[in-house]
């Protein structure tokens, strides 16, 4: 240890070695202040582990688990915020409210229908695209072909949603085009319908399907496909017997990510949907506007959504995916 610190301090180093570094860090590490504080701490194995682990563990417990825990806690309280003279009691009443009223549980069912259908449609639409980029495009042009698909997603949720309005509005591009070629006399109401909402969801989430699928298909060795072709397997057989099973991990993680993302989308349904397409996030948000006395009910609703969404994703991963499947 003694020889180590001599070297770090640079006292015994030949003079030529010092100017090789251009950063100011070495000076800091060689300073007596560093040696007596941080340097001393990391020379001991226990304090070194504490230094490494303290911030990550505090952050994960406080910020990754803390909010969910607080939400669970408040969902079980009779009133919040805690007022003077009115001590909150432990109750399941906030959860019972959910089942009491179709106005409350219908949006959750609707959210599940939209998220599931959007996931299925996205898988069907994106799979051929991912396969094309991973296996048909020449390797040197592959990253450009993938980049072309990534660019639109940098627009983000709000701008993407707004762009869909340009396409589907009554005086939007599609209706005006159909009118000009004489197919319709009056605009078809596309916007603020289930169609526009589904269209927008698929548009915004397909990236989460594209990347896992692409990396899974990319890993399938080309010679497996060539061998199958030599043995007389047609394109359909090759797809069913080789490509589909070997891209299972990508399908599972892509579908799970898309499902969990689309069920939690808040702005898009409010801008693209209509009165018949109120989804659960909008229902939940109603409890958080204005005074905070409805928070326990909102927290209970959010817990119901979180648990049901994660359970659905977990069951799906267990059934379709193998043991090795991971989400990220």
Partner 1 sequence: MRTMLADAPRTALTMAYWGFVLYLFLPLTLMMAMSFKNAAFIAFPIGDWTFDWYLKVMQDKPFLEACAYSVLVAGLTTLAATVIGVWIAMLIATTEGRRGAVLFALACLPAVVPGMISAISLRIFISTIDMPTGTAAIVLGHTVHAVPFVVVMALTRLRSMPANLVDAARDLGADSVVAFFRVTLPYLGPAIGGGMIFCILLSIDDFVRTFFLGGYRPTLPMLIFAKVQGGMSPEINAMATLVLLVTGAVGLYAEYYTRRSRSR
Q: Which of residues 129, 178, 242, 320 is near partner 1 by CB under 8 A?
A: 129
139 and 250 in contact (C-beta within 8 Å)? no
Q: Which of 268, 123, 124, 265 is closest to 196 using CA atoms?
A: 268
In angstroms, rounded to a whole number, what is the distance separating the alpha carbons of residues 324 and 224? Answer: 22
Q: Looking at the chain, how many residues does it have? A: 328
- State yes or no: residue 8 binds partner 1 (CB under 8 A): yes
In the complex, least distance from residue 135 CB atom to partner 1, rounded to whole angstroms: 9
Q: Which of 99, 91, 64 is closest to 75 using CA atoms?
A: 91
- Of residues 41 and 96, the one with the C-beta less far from partner 1: 41
Q: Which of residues 105, 116, 123, 160 is near partner 1 by CB under 8 A?
A: 160
Q: Which of residues 261, 273, 278, 297 is near partner 1 by CB under 8 A?
A: 261
- State yes or no: residue 244 binds partner 1 (CB under 8 A): no
Backbone angles phi, psi at 203, to 5 degrees: -60, -45
Cα-based distances in Å from 100 to 80, 108, 178: 21, 13, 45
Q: Which of residues 76, 108, 118, 164 is near partner 1 by CB under 8 A?
A: 164
Site string for partner 1, 38-57 (x = CB under 8 A): xx--xx----x---xx-xxx
Q: Which of residues 87, 266, 276, 311 is near partner 1 by CB under 8 A?
A: 266
Please, which residues bridge with residue 86 across strands? Answer: 83
- State yes or no: residue 114 binds partner 1 (CB under 8 A): no
- State yes or no: residue 194 binds partner 1 (CB under 8 A): no
Q: Using CB under 8 A, count the residues that bind partner 1.
A: 97
Torsion of CA 46, 51, 54, 57, to 10 degrees: -90
Q: Which of residues 60, 109, 113, 227 is near partner 1 by CB under 8 A?
A: 60
- State yes or no: residue 286 binds partner 1 (CB under 8 A): no
């Amino acid at each position: 240890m003694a020889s180590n610190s001599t070297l770090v301090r640079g006292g015994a180093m030949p003079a030529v070695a010092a100017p090789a570094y251009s950063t100011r860090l070495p000076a800091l590490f060689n300073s007596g202040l560093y040696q007596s504080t941080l340097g001393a701490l990391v020379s001991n194995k226990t304090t070194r582990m504490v230094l490494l682990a303290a911030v990550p563990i505090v952050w994960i417990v406080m910020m990754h688990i803390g909010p969910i825990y607080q939400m669970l806690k408040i969902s079980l309280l009779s009133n919040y915020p805690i007022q003077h003279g009115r001590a909150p009691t432990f109750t399941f009443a906030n959860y019972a409210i959910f089942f009491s009223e179709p106005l409350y549980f219908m949006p959750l069912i609707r959210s599940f229908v939209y998220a599931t259908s959007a996931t299925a449609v996205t898988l069907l639409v994106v799979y051929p695209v991912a396969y094309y980029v991973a296996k048909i495009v020449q390797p040197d042009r592959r990253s450009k072909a993938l980049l072309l698909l990534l660019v639109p997603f940098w627009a983000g949720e709000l701008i993407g949603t707004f762009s869909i309005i340009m396409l589907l509005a009554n005086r939007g591009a599609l209706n005006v085009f159909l009118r000009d070629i004489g197919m319709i006399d009056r605009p078809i109401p596309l916007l603020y319908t289930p169609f526009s909402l589904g269209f927008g969801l698929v548009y915004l989430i397909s990236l989460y399907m594209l990347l896992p699928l692409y990396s899974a298909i990319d890993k399938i060795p080309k010679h497996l496909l060539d061998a199958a072709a030599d043995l007389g397997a047609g394109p359909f057989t090759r797809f069913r017997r080789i490509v589909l099973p070997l891209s299972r991990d990508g399908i599972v993680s892509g579908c799970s990510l898309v499902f969990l993302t689309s069920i939690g989308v808040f702005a898009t349904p409010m801008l693209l949907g209509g009165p018949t397409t109120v989804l659960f996030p909008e229902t939940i948000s109603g409890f958080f506007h204005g005074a905070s006395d409805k928070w326990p009910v909102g927290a209970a609703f959010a817990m119901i959504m979180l648990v049901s969404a994660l359970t659905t994703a977990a069951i799906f991963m267990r059934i379709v995916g193998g043991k090795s499947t991971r989400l990220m």
